[in-house]
Amino acid sequence: MDITSILIAIIGALAGGGLVSLLTIRETRKSMKIDNKAKEDDRWSKLADELQDQNETLNERIDKKDARIIELEDRNATLREQLDKSRSKCIAAELIKCVKLECTDRVPKIGTKYLDVDQIVKQSEE
């Protein structure tokens, strides 16, 4: 092989496709970077969607728990009111209870006016 055939082979390779590939390397790199950025953006958007779904699920759970707390607080308040009323009636009954068993003399004496338990509770509240 002489030098001219080597030069012809190099020029032929460059002219046939080598030159084109050398010129398109920059564009190929740019397109690869763009593709990588697009893939990365897709991954981030998927992650953002997953986090949004988790956020919605957690908000629903919190709303359910808040509703349950409010329900239990209302029930607690109702039960406290019932307990207060029953305690008041119990205290009123203790006030009019006779301390002597099977006697004609009542201690404490109520007098001629007999009070109902509800009336005693009303008097004690005033």
Q: Say whether pLDDT at 3 is over 70.
A: yes
**Alpha helices per DSSP H over 1-126:** 3-13, 19-96, 117-125
In a domain, residue 92? The reply is yes
Q: Is residue 25 included in any domain, yes or no?
A: no
Domain membership of residue 74 as a residue range: 37-125
31 domain residue, yes or no: no
Considering the domain boundaries, does residue 59 fall inside one?
A: yes
14 in any annotated domain: no
Please check whether residue 27 lies inside any domain of the structure.
no
Q: pLDDT tens across 27-78, in order?
A: 777 888 888 898 999 999 999 999 999 999 999 999 999 999 999 999 999 9
pTM comes to 0.48
26 compared with 44, residue with greater pLDDT:
44
Contacts for 123 with CB less than 8 Å, ≥ 6 apart? 115
Using the CB atoms, write b or e for 77-97: b if 16+ within 10 Å: eeeeeeeeeeebeeebeeeee
Residue 81 lies in a domain: yes
Average pLDDT, the chain: 79
Please indicate, yes or no, if residue 24 is contained in any of the structural domains: no
Work out how many domains the chain is built from and give that number. Answer: 1
Between the alpha carbon of residue 5 and those of residues 1, 10, 18, 21, the distances in Å are: 6, 9, 17, 22
1 pLDDT band, cuts 50/70/90, is low
